[in-house]
Amino acid sequence: MFKKILIANRGEIACRVIKTARRMGIKTVAVYSDADAQAMHVEMADEAVHIGPPQAAQSYLLIDKIVEACKATGAEAVHPGYGFLSEREAFPVALAKEGIVFIGPNPRAIAAMGDKIESKKAAAAAKVSTVPGHLGEIGSPAEAVKIAEQIGYPVMIKASAGGGGKGMRIAYSRKECEEGFALARSEAKSSFGDDRVFIEKFIENPRHIEIQVLGDKHGNVIYLGERECSIQRRNQKVIEEAPSPLLDEKTRKLMGEQAVALAKAVGYDSAGTVEFVAGQDRSFFFLEMNTRLQVEHPVTEMVTGIDLVEQMIRVAAGEKLALKQKDVKLEGWAVESRIYAEDPFRNFLPSIGRLTRYVPPAEGVVHGGTIRNDTGVAEGGEISMFYDPMIAKLVTHAPTRIGAIDLQAQALDAFYIDGIQHNIPFLTALMQHERWREGRLSTGFIAEEYPNGFAPPAADGYGLGILASVAASIDHLNNTRRRHITQQMDGQPFSFAKRRVVRIGARDVHLEVTGGGDGPIKVAKVNGDGAIGTPIEVVSTWWPGQPVWTGTVGGEEVSVQVRPVLNGVHLSYRGAAADIRVYTEAEATLVSLMPEKVAADTSKLLLCPMPGLVKAIHVQAGQEVKAGDALAVVEAMKMENVLRAERDGTVKKINAKAGDSLAVDAVILEFA
Amino acid sequence: MRNVLEELERRRDIARLGGGEARIAAQHKRGKLTARERIELLMDEGSFEEFDMYVEHRSTDFGMEKTKFPGDGVVTGWGTINGRVVYVFAKDFTVFGGSLSEAHAKKITKIQDMALQNRAPIIGLFDAGGARIQEGVAALGGYGEVFLRNVLASGVIPQISVIMGPCAGGDVYSPAMTDFIFMVKDTSYMFVTGPDVVKTVTNETVTAEELGGAKVHTTKSSIADRAYENDVETLLQMRRLMDFLPSNNKSGVPLLPTKDVPDRIEMSLDTLIPANPNQPYDIKELILKVVDEGDFFEIQDQFAKNIVTGFARMEGRTVGIVANQPMVLAGVLDSDASRKAARFVRFCDCFEIPIITFVDVPGFLPGTAQEYGGLIKHGAKLLFAYSEATVPKITVITRKAYGGAYDVMSSKHIRGDVNYAWPSAEIAVMGAKGAAEILYRAELGDPEKIKARIDEYQARFANPFVAAERGYIDEVIMPHGTRRRICRALNMLRNKQAQNPWKKHDNIPL
């Protein structure tokens, strides 16, 4: 076994590999760019080597630098993680020249399967059914359109070297095909350093199901069941689960055996993933093979109990697979949410900055399930514009699918992040979504269920009751302790009214709040006729300043996130969030007399939706534009975002130019 | 007896109606509450006791004897805020537009006298049209009496002014001499002369809002310390503020029980200072993570944002926080920032509130605008205020402490009691680049040589140890333990005794 390995990656996956290596008694070497000097993977590793400036193309993507780092530290093997160099054929070749072992498949397998065009040819040769498409390289937009029209719209334009939705575009028309081709190419170039793209038929209403395979250098290959990753947003996976609610035992076996056959045909000798598109009728087509550890591998680990990184290291060291196919048993259900630094309320645009607060839920066994959080950041860490916006992968495992989903919802409630915008509100809301809970999925799920983007669900019914009870108990706690402030006048201590009006948005909940001090706080609903309902107990050890209120409301365990606002609290629970103020009845009456204030009108402005770099301004002052016209391109997090006119109008003034670095809400241009 | 009781109730009811229901409705329509509604929000429920409810003016000119309202346009009295005694007067806009008469002024001065004698804070709620013209010089005399009492009480009891409607002419000077002024957005304005007079004299056309609205006074003139959205929000915040303030200059700060432990560790503070010395960071993150429960009442949050001032608590006891803000103008000291912080430091010193200073200051702002604007004397105000302050003073240098600004920011030399530095601190005459370029002017033509000189200077002086070697820094501390250190230091200083030489008063460079 290796004594020391280097991890040619960053973020959560570097940390995750280090954890397993450490458990196996293997020393670890991290590499880092300037932007990651204080990153968690650098802290965790036994040694760390600086490899260049923040841009991945000048650091994490430089094979020479990694090889140099190996030689300098005496690392015998390299784990590439995912992304970056993980599927570059040249990387294991370069390592092999220096006698360094690549913890991944052999270069021939990468060549055969890593490239999406080559892999389709290989799959076709192995008689695996594939989706109709054009496997050759495409040189120009005109050629792209020609091919697209042969296949028939809609088509998907994808980076040959890509993955994870980067450099991928779907086109429903000639115009979109031309635009998508250019964008896919330029994104492919900036993300992967390889601008080749290909086109294939886009299958509607598909489900994304993939098979985890594991091979060794002795010709053994097994499959570790499937993962379903149908919950995607613009082809970027958001939620993954294992097993898939679609598959039956028969289909699982069929897919698994096909995946194994394919892997064997190319001499695959590591962990890999064979991706399929599945129809609702359980038909499936080979999509591509990822010759690396997948982001979503933890769900497989949770249901199989197998540490995939450990297996990768062992087979790379030449060990035979200790597992036979019959040893692989799927137990329970696992759900993974990807926590991204992106703003769900602004069309999921990337958000960067310092994590001023980062409090993940406690890991381990809870309520008969397990919570696991794979992360590469800690409070005080920085989400930079240079890398993938994923902050963490929150995984829950329980005996049943609903159990895993409910535990996921609970864990998300307690996941507290400040300093950047993130998609937890969206994920939490998803966990409540009936269609998701019933497992009626397709890759179009998010687009279909949230056609106008995501708006936070209004608290109602049960959720409203929880928010009101917690807000009232926080208010009660504050009132009670203020009775103990010093310098009070002698005589009778002051008192405060029991009747409270909890104002959540435009809704009022009338409550009577009693108890507290050493005993539980009791909250009772006051009905319209003044009758008081049965009080419920609200119990918590929460104290002001703590980010998450954890306790019981009427015996139910809940976690509610608390952020102070002027004269109140901002609470969030199960995706619903609101500024809440608790008034006395007298105060509430007076509040009603206060005028509504109108927010400033920004409809005449094009605001920069995220911090980023202006790549192009497509219009000039005085120009008339139609709704949908491209106005400007802003690049952030390696993604080029085209900003389009929301309505017809005339451009009055342009305030930014290509090359400008803009802050969020900076005015790019003004309309007349 | 019964008749007498009924008569009392009848007279009370009339008095409580102020200018009558129509005027109350008009007040509400403007988005404003009445004087009594405001007091009800400000005080503990049922604690307000009104004085002088039946006072009426005695003017006989211009037919005034025919229009009289009990209370005469101002509601005065006392009550409690979270059990602590507070005196209050609230202008009643529904009666003569809240205008000040001789009798009206007497009601206010009576309350002012009681507050001073009994050493409890006083809060004035302003919503009035100035002097009652019909009373002429008697009203002016009344103003003078109020002003005098503001001055006598200054530094003895906290005086708070809340502007909740018009406040013009003679009415503005009483708030101006109190400790803090708060305003309500869109419904309040303050100016010495209104838009009409301005038009006549200077031919400028401005609205009342443009001339003296909450935005102007919180961002431009710095007359107001904060502004809030509406009456309710404002008054509830005044309750919050009063929990921070001592009752008087001898009472010491109030103690609010907390479960936030003094030895709370904040690991993320270790990465607060960016690797690049020119990259800003938000000093408020440090403040919020160090103080009790992240509860910080900022004063002048919209003005001279390059310095942050406000109240917080450590182990339940009020402290004043002064901090350079690297996010704005790199945290530089300019005239506005110096004046803002100086006034805050002096308030804290008056009322025995310990001062915690977080330092990251690149120096004073250069330029003609600053020099012509009197930077020397404005900067001196802050230096003066820190120097004369005898309350416990704790200083934490997080990054830059350059030049004269280092001395100003509660340094050891001006009686800083405990001066800490983070390992990232650089206490130096100036930044390495500037220093090397002056010291080695002859080598300026050679970029390589000068770079070596900069690196040399950086290595020698860009750390806390040069200062620590001389005892200018008491200890270099880990950022994550800042709260624990400050709490310990405050406890150690609890019985601090320090006095300035006897003087009638000092002569701060105003």
Distances in whole angstroms, Cα of residue B158 to Cα of each of A668, B122, B219, B242:
47, 7, 24, 9
The answer to whether residues A467 and A553 belong to one domain is yes
For A107-130, write each residue's pLDDT tens digit.
Answer: 999 988 877 777 878 888 887 877
Which of A103, A124, A144 is a domain's end point? A103
Q: Is residue A456 part of a domain?
A: no
| Alpha-carbon gap: B245 to the closest alpha carbon of chain A (Å) | 11
Say whether pLDDT at A638 is over 60: no
SS3 labels along A49-71: EEEECCCHHHCCCCHHHHHHHHH
The CA distance from A167 to A157, in Å, is 8
For B170-190, write each residue's pLDDT tens digit.
Answer: 899 999 999 999 999 999 999
The CA distance from A474 to A471, in Å, is 5
Q: What percentage of chain B has pLDDT greater than the value 70?
A: 100
The answer to whether residues A370 and A472 belong to one domain is no
| Alpha-carbon gap: A601 to the closest alpha carbon of chain B (Å) | 17
Say whether pLDDT at A163 is over 70: no
Residue type present at position A517: G
SS3 labels along A570-592: EEEECCEEEEEEEEEHHHHHHHC
The CA distance from A321 to A311, in Å, is 8
Distances in whole angstroms, Cα of residue A132 to Cα of each of A444, B68, B167:
20, 93, 77
Q: Is residue A599 part of a domain?
A: no
The DSSP result for A338-372, as a single string, is EEESEEGGGTTEE--EE-SEEEPPPPEEETTEEEE
Which of A78-82, A595-599, B126-130 has the weakest average pLDDT? A595-599
What does the block give as tokens for B8?
A: 């009392």
3-state secondary structure of A248: coil
| Alpha-carbon gap: B20 to the closest alpha carbon of chain A (Å) | 18
The answer to whether residues A26 and A158 belong to one domain is no
> By C-alpha distance, which of B154, B138, B182 is closest to B347?
B154
The CA distance from B323 to B298, in Å, is 11
Give kind and range of the element (H or E) at residue A212: strand A207-215
Q: What helix, strand, coil percent values describe chain B, rounded to 5?
A: 45, 20, 35
Give me the number of domains chain A comprises.
5
Quick one: pLDDT band at residue A518, thresholds 50, 70, 90? Answer: confident
For B84-137, write each residue's pLDDT tens digit.
Answer: 999 999 999 999 889 999 999 999 999 999 999 999 999 999 999 888 888 889
How many beta carbons lie within 10 A of that of residue B52, not counting itself?
A: 21
Q: Quick one: DSSP state of residue A165?
A: T
Say whether pLDDT at B470 is over 80: yes
Report yes or no: A338 and A430 within 8 Å, Cβ to Cβ.
no
Of the ranges B58-62, B70-74, B154-158, the best mean pLDDT one: B154-158
Which of A449, A469, A496 is a domain's end point? A449
Q: Is residue A239 part of a domain?
A: yes
Reading phi first (left if > 0) and then psi (alpha if -120 to 50, else beta), residue A555 is in left
Q: Is residue A598 part of a domain?
A: no
The answer to whether residues A578 and A468 belong to one domain is yes
Q: Is residue A587 part of a domain?
A: yes
The CA distance from B427 to A222, in Å, is 63
| Alpha-carbon gap: B264 to the closest alpha carbon of chain A (Å) | 12
CB pairs under 8 A between A and B: 119
**Per annotation, catalytic residue among A76, A176, A228, A288:** A288
Say whether pLDDT at A3 is over 60: yes
Identify the residue with better confidence: B20 or B496.
Answer: B496
Say whether pLDDT at A14 is over 90: yes
Among the partner-chain residues A382, A493, A545, the one whose CB lies closest to the CB of B293 is A545
The answer to whether residues A187 and A234 belong to one domain is no
The answer to whether residues A567 and A643 belong to one domain is no
The angle subtended at Cα A138 by Cα A132 and Cα A139, nearest 5°, is 165
The CATH number of whichever domain residue A97 belongs to comes to: 3.40.50.20
Give the β-pairing of B166-168 and B159-163: unpaired
pLDDT of residue A602: 66
Contact A594 B231 (CB under 8 A): yes
Give kind and range of the element (H or E) at residue B328: none
Quick one: pLDDT band at residue A500, thresholds 50, 70, 90? Answer: very high
The CA distance from B267 to B292, in Å, is 16
Beta-carbon contacts of B370 under 8 Å, excluding residues fewer than 6 positions away, are B334, B335, B364
Give kind and range of the element (H or E) at residue A245: none
The CA distance from A578 to A591, in Å, is 17
User: What is chain B's alpha carbon radius of gyration, rounded to the nearest angstrom?
Assistant: 26
What does the block give as tokens for B321?
A: 């926080």
The answer to whether residues A169 and A257 belong to one domain is no
What does the block give as tokens for A275?
A: 């991706």
- Helices B283-290 and B482-492 cross at an angle (nearest 10°) of 60
Measured between beta carbons, the chain B residues lying within 8 angstroms of A543 are: 258-260, 293
For A23-69, write each residue's pLDDT tens digit.
Answer: 999 999 999 999 999 899 999 999 999 999 999 999 999 999 999 99
Among the partner-chain residues B85, B232, B237, the one whose CB lies closest to the CB of A489 is B85
Measured between beta carbons, the chain B residues lying within 8 angstroms of A485 are: 82-84, 243, 254-257
How many beta carbons lie within 10 A of that of residue B372, not counting itself?
A: 8
The CA distance from B194 to B206, in Å, is 9
Say whether pLDDT at A280 is over 90: no
Measured between beta carbons, the chain A residues lying within 8 angstroms of B243 are: 482, 485
Measured between beta carbons, the chain A residues lying within 8 angstroms of B269 are: 380
The CA distance from A64 to A66, in Å, is 5
The answer to whether residues A197 and A219 belong to one domain is no
Beta-carbon contacts of A98 under 8 Å, excluding residues fewer than 6 positions away, are A67, A70, A71
The answer to whether residues A621 and A639 belong to one domain is yes
As a whole number, the mean pLDDT across chain B is: 94
Full domain range(s) for residue A549 = 461-591
pLDDT of residue B103: 93
Report yes or no: A381 and B271 within 8 Å, Cβ to Cβ.
yes
The answer to whether residues A311 and A247 belong to one domain is yes
Give kind and range of the element (H or E) at residue B27: helix B21-29
The CATH number of whichever domain residue A465 belongs to comes to: 3.30.700.30
The CA distance from B357 to B342, in Å, is 12
Report yes or no: B199 and A564 within 8 Å, Cβ to Cβ.
no
For A459-492, write each residue's pLDDT tens digit.
Answer: 778 889 999 999 999 999 999 999 899 999 998 7
The CA distance from A21 to A17, in Å, is 6
Quick one: pLDDT band at residue B273, thresholds 50, 70, 90? Answer: very high
Quick one: pLDDT band at residue B23, thresholds 50, 70, 90? Answer: very high
Q: Is residue A624 part of a domain?
A: yes
The CA distance from B274 to A530, in Å, is 57
Which of A103, A124, A149 is a domain's end point? A103
Q: What percentage of chain B has pLDDT greater than the value 90?
A: 80
Q: Is residue A122 part of a domain?
A: no
Say whether pLDDT at A252 is over 90: yes
> By C-alpha distance, which of A449, A452, A444 is closest to A154?
A444
The answer to whether residues A269 and A308 belong to one domain is yes
Q: Which residue of B has its CA nearest to A378?
A: B268
Beta-carbon contacts of B507 under 8 Å, excluding residues fewer than 6 positions away, are none
Of the ranges A510-524, B374-388, B418-432, the best mean pLDDT one: B374-388
Determine whether A288 is an active site residue.
yes
Among the partner-chain residues B83, B271, B285, the one whose CB lies closest to the CB of A381 is B271
> By C-alpha distance, which of A203, A251, A196 is closest to A223?
A251
Report yes or no: B319 and B356 within 8 Å, Cβ to Cβ.
yes
Measured between beta carbons, the chain B residues lying within 8 angstroms of A498 are: none
Q: A449: buried, middle or exposed (CB in 10 Å: 19+, 13-18, 0-12)? A: middle
pLDDT of residue A605: 83
Contact B275 A381 (CB under 8 A): no
> By C-alpha distance, which of A124, A139, A110, A381 is closest to A268?
A110
Residue A162, Cα to own-chain centre: how many angstroms? 18
The answer to whether residues A444 and A509 belong to one domain is no
The CATH number of whichever domain residue A159 belongs to comes to: 3.30.1490.20
Q: B117: buried, middle or exposed (CB in 10 Å: 19+, 13-18, 0-12)? A: exposed
Distances in whole angstroms, Cα of residue A440 to Cα of each of A244, A332, A400:
11, 19, 16
Which of A17-21, A389-393, A435-439, A599-603 has the weakest average pLDDT? A599-603
Identify the residue with better confidence: B236 or A491.
Answer: B236
For B250-269, write each residue's pLDDT tens digit.
Answer: 999 999 999 999 999 999 99
Q: What percentage of chain A has pLDDT greater than the value 70?
A: 98
The CA distance from A163 to A161, in Å, is 7
3-state secondary structure of B409: coil
The CA distance from A90 to A99, in Å, is 14
Say whether pLDDT at A506 is over 90: no
pLDDT of residue B118: 98
The CA distance from B237 to B498, in Å, is 34
How many beta carbons lie within 10 A of that of residue A6, not counting itself?
A: 30
pLDDT of residue A529: 86
pLDDT of residue B123: 98
Q: Is residue A333 part of a domain?
A: yes
State mean pLDDT over B470-492.
Answer: 97
Quick one: pLDDT band at residue A283, thresholds 50, 70, 90? Answer: confident
Give kind and range of the element (H or E) at residue B325: none
SS3 labels along B108-147: HHHHHHHHHHHCCCEEEEECCCCECHHHCHHHHHHHHHHH
Among the partner-chain residues A378, A485, A494, the one whose CB lies closest to the CB of B254 is A485
pLDDT of residue A329: 95
Give the β-pairing of B189-191 and B166-168: parallel
| ipTM score assigned to the predicted complex | 0.94
pLDDT of residue B140: 93
Q: What percentage of chain A has pLDDT greater than the value 90?
A: 63
Identify the residue with better confidence: A144 or B113.
Answer: B113
